[in-house]
């Protein structure tokens, strides 16, 4: 898949904005993903890994579907 420079730039801006907003969320009292996993599964539970993979896979699948539906993708 070839991404033109404009889309690549916008993707980099989106990733940077996402990372910069995720870092200060703890100042608002929102727990980190690690804390959520430990609360749900306990420390060192192997089920946290498949759960994380399912969450990431679902997000990626949704993003790919949105990208394919957009008229600019063709």
Q: Identify whether residues 38 and 60 lie together within a single domain.
A: yes
Q: How many domains does the chain have?
A: 2
**Are 37 and 24 in the same domain?**
no
Say yes or no: 35 and 8 in one domain: no
- How would residue 12 be classed by pLDDT, with cut points 50, 70 and 90? confident
Residues 21, 36, single domain; the answer is no
State the Cα–Cα distance between residues 61 and 55, nearest whole angstrom.
Answer: 10
What is the rounded distance in angstroms from the CA atom of residue 43 to the CA atom of residue 66?
35
Structure tokens at 43: 């420390």
Q: What is the pTM of this model?
A: 0.54
Q: List the domain range (segments joined by +) for residue 42.
A: 31-74
Same domain, 40 and 22: no
Q: Is there a single domain that holds both residue 25 and residue 39?
A: no
What does the alpha-carbon distance between residue 27 and residue 25 come to, in Å, rounded to a whole number? 5
Residue 74: what pLDDT? 52
pLDDT digits (tens, 9 = 90+) for 16-57: 777 777 667 677 777 888 888 899 999 989 998 999 899 888
Q: Are 73 and 67 in contact (CB under 8 A)?
A: yes
What token pair was written down for 1?
């898949």
Total length of the chain: 74
Rg (CA), the chain: 16
């Amino acid at each position: 898949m070839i991404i033109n420079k404009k889309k690549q730039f916008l993707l980099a801006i989106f990733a940077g904005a996402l990372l910069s907003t995720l870092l200060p969320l703890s100042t608002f009292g929102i727990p980190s993903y690690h804390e959520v996993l430990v609360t749900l599964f306990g420390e060192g539970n192997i089920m946290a890994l498949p759960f994380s993979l399912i969450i990431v896979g679902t997000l990626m699948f949704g993003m790919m579907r949105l990208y394919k539906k957009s008229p600019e993708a063709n």
